[in-house]
Amino acid sequence: MSRTTKTAEDGDIVFTNVSKSFGEVQAVKELSLRLPQGQIYGFLGPNGAGKTTCLRMLLSIILPDQGEIHLQGGATAWDLRDQIGYLPEERGLYRRMQVMDHLKFLAEIKGADVKAVEPRILKWLERLGLADRAKSKVMDLSKGNQQKVQFIGTLAHNPSLLVLDEVFSGLDPINQQQIRDILLELRKEGKTIIFSTHIMEQAEQLCDGICLIHRGQCIMEGALDELKAEHGKGKLQLEHTGSVDFLQAKDYILSYRTTGNNTELQLKEDADPNLVLTALLDKDIKIQRFELANPTLKELFMQKVESSEENTEGDTTDA
């Protein structure tokens, strides 16, 4: 086995220089990550970015063309298959089976004792409002309820690692909140949760760590709080009396948005916030609030994608 630049410790999951292509399309390129045990970690990006490919390689459903993925000090997903719960993006339920029978079947193929697992399944059905549908056929449920059944099937055998591909797909806002609450509870129990989404607001409410993927490449990775703090130096929020429209003409302002007496500014990289403060004082603007604020995850992603696109265009020109 080749030497890796990162090694798995305890229950960490480690990607080392992982790449995967499908024909001429490179879905993932030279990805190196550490996904810490006991956290909620998100693979984020637009549709087609490579998120699902990353999850499927992690699970050994498909194998990388190069690089290595290690779980728990060198194990593979196949070695730990009964400890993993996987929710695929495509719904994979037997439509003619009854809900309870289906969930017991899913737990049984993961090595769980059917009699022992039934109380746990009933608990989840009750929690997600499906207790009265236990004997219904899957095909008779709405798409949202089918998604909830598939989610329960992911939990039924009490796995220590959850891998969830677009877990919120087809769910209304109330059920999305239910799933978020459950995932946060499972993290408190020490479970490791890895999920993919293209909706940044969902990830921001859940994730400890993230990998932003664009065109198969990781363009930002790490602990979410640290990333927001690191990249939030140029965002200013102002509350003021009087117009501050003159700031739009300043060459250190990247973006400007104002509503009444509240204004949000994005400074150019390395611009000093004191330049804004001095300009306001020179105009005798009364300031009630002058605050450096962390960007939202969506703003972070947009900034990094735009930067990545600019670099790609530059590389193409040079070539």
Q: What is the CATH number of the domain that holds 280?
A: 3.30.70
Greater confidence (300 vs 223) lies with 223
Q: Tell me the CATH number at 151.
A: 3.40.50.300
Q: What is the pTM of this model?
A: 0.81
Task: Using the 3D structure, point to which of 222, 241, 267 is the last residue of a domain.
Answer: 222
pLDDT band at 313 (very low <50, low <70, confident <90, very high): low
Average pLDDT over residues 153-159: 95
Q: How high is the pLDDT of residue 232?
A: 63
Residue type, 265: L
Give which of 283, 203, 278 is closest to 236, Cα–Cα. Answer: 278
Answer yes or no: do 262 and 241 share one domain. Answer: yes
CA-based R_g, the chain, Å = 23
How does the average pLDDT of the chain come out, rounded? 89
Task: Using the 3D structure, point to which of 222, 252, 281 is the last residue of a domain.
Answer: 222
Q: How high is the pLDDT of residue 311?
A: 63
pLDDT at 141 > cutoff 80? yes
For 268-286, the pLDDT digits (tens) are 878 899 999 999 999 989 9
Answer yes or no: do 262 and 140 share one domain. Answer: no
Q: How far apart are CA 250 and CA 125, in angstroms?
A: 58
- Judge whether 128 lies within some domain: yes
Q: How high is the pLDDT of residue 302?
A: 80
Answer yes or no: do 203 and 250 share one domain. Answer: no
Task: Using the 3D structure, point to which of 199, 222, 245 is the last residue of a domain.
Answer: 222
For 234-272, the pLDDT digits (tens) are 788 999 999 999 999 999 998 899 999 999 998 887 889
- Judge whether 306 lies within some domain: no
- Judge whether 31 lies within some domain: yes
Q: List the domain range (segments joined by +) for residue 287.
A: 233-293
For helices 173-188 and 143-155, angle between their N-to-C axes, nearest 10 degrees = 10
Answer yes or no: do 257 and 152 share one domain. Answer: no
How many structural domains comprise the chain?
A: 2
- Judge whether 37 lies within some domain: yes
CB 29 within 8 A of CB 4: no
Answer yes or no: do 155 and 242 share one domain. Answer: no
- Judge whether 299 lies within some domain: no
DSSP-derived pairing of the beta strands 13-22 and 66-71: antiparallel
Answer yes or no: do 57 and 131 share one domain. Answer: yes
Answer yes or no: do 144 and 203 share one domain. Answer: yes
Q: How far apart are CA 39 and CA 195, in angstroms?
A: 11
Q: How high is the pLDDT of residue 118?
A: 95
- Judge whether 270 lies within some domain: yes
Q: How high is the pLDDT of residue 266?
A: 84
Least confident of 50-54, 103-107, 149-153, 229-233: 229-233
Answer yes or no: do 120 and 174 share one domain. Answer: yes
Q: How high is the pLDDT of residue 52?
A: 95
pLDDT at 7 > cutoff 50? no
Q: What angle do CA 64, 69, 73 make, to 5 degrees?
A: 160
Answer yes or no: do 247 and 145 share one domain. Answer: no
For 285-296, the pLDDT digits (tens) are 999 999 888 778
Answer yes or no: do 110 and 244 share one domain. Answer: no
For 86-112, the pLDDT digits (tens) are 999 888 899 999 999 999 999 999 999
Greater confidence (236 vs 228) lies with 236
Q: How high is the pLDDT of residue 310?
A: 64
Residues, the chain: 319
Q: How high is the pLDDT of residue 23?
A: 94
Side by side, the strands of the sheet bearing 253-259 are: 253-259, 262-267, 235-241, 286-292
Average pLDDT over residues 62-79: 90
Q: How high is the pLDDT of residue 2?
A: 31
Strand intervals (E) in 36-172: 40-44, 66-71, 84-87, 161-165
Answer yes or no: do 218 and 237 share one domain. Answer: no
122-130's contacts with Cβ under 8 Å and 24+ in sequence apart are 124/152, 124/155, 124/156, 125/99, 125/100, 125/152, 127/178, 127/182, 128/152, 128/175, 128/178, 130/99
Name 220's Cβ contacts closer than 8 Å, sequence gap at least 6.
Answer: 210, 211, 212, 227, 300, 301, 304
Answer yes or no: do 52 and 126 share one domain. Answer: yes
Q: How far apart are CA 286 and CA 273, in angstroms?
A: 17
- Judge whether 227 lies within some domain: no
- Judge whether 145 lies within some domain: yes
